[in-house]
Structure 1
Amino acid sequence: MSEVVEIEIVADQVPAYALPGDAGADLRSNETVTVGPGERAVIGTGVSFVMPEGVAAFVMPRSGLAAKHGITVLNAPGTVDSGYRGEVKVTLLNTDRDAAFEVRPGDRIAQVVFMRVARAAFTSVDALPESVRGAGGFGSTGFGAQSREPGTPGA
């Protein structure tokens, strides 16, 4: 069983886990909005909450909306810090090229995952220690690198 974190909430509709073992609790819209093809819209949820210090909430897309309608959360994951007290709003993006997407009150539009977070203590140094990966950026490990031996082309 996973850790339970107590969250104080003021909500039109309390977020809920659809199934046992789900990581994300569904956030529902509290307004009617049409998101046109290629457009984005900020949608209210009517949810505000207080989390303990050291816990953050992350607003993420729902896979069904993405697969069926091309709807995603634009800044996913959207980070909600423990000091924030306002309404959680979700910025949806319609990636469909042709069809508008209708959001109605009560529609499940995103999910929220609560996680413990660490704060960093930054130490300024002149150089960083070497690593196997090094300073390679995006794509530096190659496509399909998991199936290749280190040192082979594309690895």
Structure 2
Amino acid sequence: MKVNIVNKGSLSLPEYKTEGASGIDLMANLKNAIVLNPMERFMVPTGLFVEIPEGYEAQIRGRSGLAAKNGITLANGVGTIDSDYRGEIKVILINLGNEPFEIKHGDRIAQMILAKYEKIEFNLVDYLEETDRGSGGFGHTGL
């Protein structure tokens, strides 16, 4: 599938780093480095604008290495970019670590995955079919 992309930054286009990769790395497009102190968040620009086909969304996910080594993750968990959005892709990073973290121009800050979705219609009913699980959740099967 081809996706239209505009690059208003000074970085190369994102790419898959390995043959089996499902996500492409997004890079920080910054004039000056920023320091993200513990519990601070910042919307990091990428310089990228995409035209996602209808029926798809772009999911922005954190990078596991940044989270494991430095406590840097996405403030919103997983970001969603809808097919009708035409603004710049920005990544909301938060520092959950104990030390300040510097983000420099060109640093890989997140991953983007394109995912197909289906629209649903709700059917209002008076009850739901029973299952063995029922309403059990949040640890109902033990540790």
TM-score (norm 1): 0.85
Contact 1:58–1:112 (Cα < 8 Å) also in 2: yes
| C-alpha RMSD of the superposition | 1.0
| Larger relative contact order, structure 1 or 2 (CA cutoff 8 Å, min sep 6) | 2
Contact 1:39–1:94 (Cα < 8 Å) also in 2: yes
Q: Distance in 1 between matches of 2:16 and 2:96?
A: 26
1:28 aligned to 2:24? no
What is the identity, as a one-letter code, of the residue corresponding to 1:117?
Answer: Y
1:8 aligned to 2:9? no
- Superposition pairs of residues 132-147 of structure 1, within 5 angstroms: 132-143=132-143
Gaps of 5+ in 1: 144-155
1:120 corresponding residue in structure 2: 120
Q: Distance in 2 between matches of 1:121 and 1:142?
A: 34
- TM-superposed deviation, 1:76: 2.1
- TM-superposed deviation, 1:52: 0.8
2:41 corresponding residue in structure 1: 40
- TM-superposed deviation, 1:59: 0.2
Provide, for residues 45-75 of structure 1, a one-character-per-residue CA deviation record: whole Å limited to 9, x for no partner: 1111001100100000111111111111111
1:67 corresponding residue in structure 2: 68
- SS of residue in 1 equivalent to 2:39: coil
Q: Distance in 2 between matches of 1:57 and 1:132?
A: 35
Q: Distance in 2 between matches of 1:81 and 1:111?
A: 16
Q: Distance in 1 between matches of 2:94 and 2:123?
A: 38
1:108 corresponding residue in structure 2: 108
What is the identity, as a one-letter code, of the residue corresponding to 2:19?
Answer: P
Q: Distance in 2 between matches of 1:113 and 1:103?
A: 22
Q: Distance in 1 between matches of 2:23 and 2:132?
A: 34
- TM-superposed deviation, 1:141: 2.3
Provide, for residues 86-116 of structure 1, a one-character-per-residue CA deviation record: whole Å limited to 9, x for no partner: 001101111112x111111100000000010
What is the identity, as a one-letter code, of the residue corresponding to 2:28?
Answer: S
Q: Distance in 1 between matches of 2:35 and 2:4?
A: 31
1:53 corresponding residue in structure 2: 54
1:19 aligned to 2:22? no
